[in-house]
Amino acid sequence: MEDDIDQLMKKVQRLEIKARRLSRESFSGEYHASFKGQGLDFEDFREYQHGDETRFIDWNVTARMNSPFVRTFREERELTVMIAVDISGSTQFGSQEYSKREISAEIAAVIAFSAKHNGDKVGLLLFSNQKEIYIPPNKGTRHTLRMIREVLATEATSPATSLSAACEFLTKTVRKKALVFLLSDFIDHDYQKKLGTLSKLHDLIAIRVYDPAEETLPNIGKVTLADPESGHQTTINTSNSNVRMAHEKLTQRQTEGIKKTFQKYKIDHADTPTDADYLPALHQLFKNRAGKHS
């Protein structure tokens, strides 16, 4: 038991060091440019200058001072950030060095530290087919480290997935408009409407973490495949090119369906495979977001 705790603490420390470095060197500036505050706060009055918008003229002050004065504002910078991570059975799969769950943990940590560096409140939801862990948005290093520890250590009480349940929980629980990062492999069904509802209430970013081995079967003869969520097993002959082709077409249709859902609800998204560096996908996501707000 003590060895398990020691191993976990070492993982937390390694991930903390990596996430701090990446967020500081690569993402804090991009994060700030990509995700704006939710509004404007009144700051002060000043005399009207050529080019100022007339709708900001304050007529009471103007009458008192006998010359036009306008209201000035500052951006309400602080955001509420929610990071929702799928920890269902399918996310345990990894054909390379890291599983989908481990990649999700790293991305979640980078986002959490980037938000922390920008003074935002950050919260965490870990889910399977139900809420597993919910940490309300807050600030501080201890709070951020607790979230990283939970992402790495929490074991789901159920292997199944329900994106609908996760979206519904966030819709009901997070009252203030928030920036929501949803990390999942999106291997689920009948979640589209709940996802759409969540995207209307909050600024939703979807990050699909996938393993290429799930999409293309190797030619290695007969193998038994087990569904990590239902436990169902099936034996197939991967030497049969028709079997491999049918599997590839099926997974392509599933992926296209996921992307069509994102497009339908105008959800910004990124795809991050387990066999490659996730940084380029995150950089591109942040760059695209910054371009929208420039």
CA–CA separation, 114 and 26 (whole Å): 9
Q: Is residue 164 part of a domain?
A: yes
CATH code where residue 133 lies: 3.40.50
pLDDT of residue 117: 82
Check whether 11 has a pLDDT greater than 90.
no
CA distance 162 to 90: 12
Q: What is the model's pLDDT at position 254?
A: 93
| Residue 21 counted as domain residue | no
Residues 70 and 45 in one domain: yes
Which residues is 291 bridged to in the sheet? none
Q: Tens digits of per-residue pLDDT, 19-69?
A: 777 777 666 566 666 665 555 556 678 888 877 778 788 888 889 888 898
For residue 194, pLDDT beyond 70 = yes
Question: Which structural domain, as residue segments, surrounds residue 259?
Answer: 78-293
Position 225 in a domain: yes
Please tell me whether residues 43 and 83 are part of one structural domain: no
What confidence tier does 187 reach under pLDDT thresholds 50, 70, 90? very high
Domain end, chosen from 25, 60, 76, is at 76
Instruction: List the end-to-end C-alpha distance of the chain, in Å, as a whole number.
Output: 52
Q: Is residue 16 part of a domain?
A: no
Asked if residue 150 belongs to a domain, the reply is: yes
pLDDT in tens, 235-254: 888 888 888 898 889 889 99
Whether 26 is covered by a domain: the verdict is no
Is it the case that residue 282 has pLDDT exceeding 80? yes
H/E/C letters for each residue in 51-77? CCCHHHECHHHHHHHCCCEEEEEEEEC
pLDDT at 125: 98
Closest CA to 26 of 273, 271, 274, 286: 286
Q: How far apart are CA 137 and CA 144, in angstroms?
A: 10
- Residue where one domain finishes, among candidates 52, 76, 100: 76
Tell whether 85 and 106 lie within a shared domain.
yes
Full-model pTM: 0.80
Asked whether residue 29 is domain-assigned, the answer is no
More confident residue, 164 or 224: 164
Specify whether 95 is located in the same domain as 127. Answer: yes
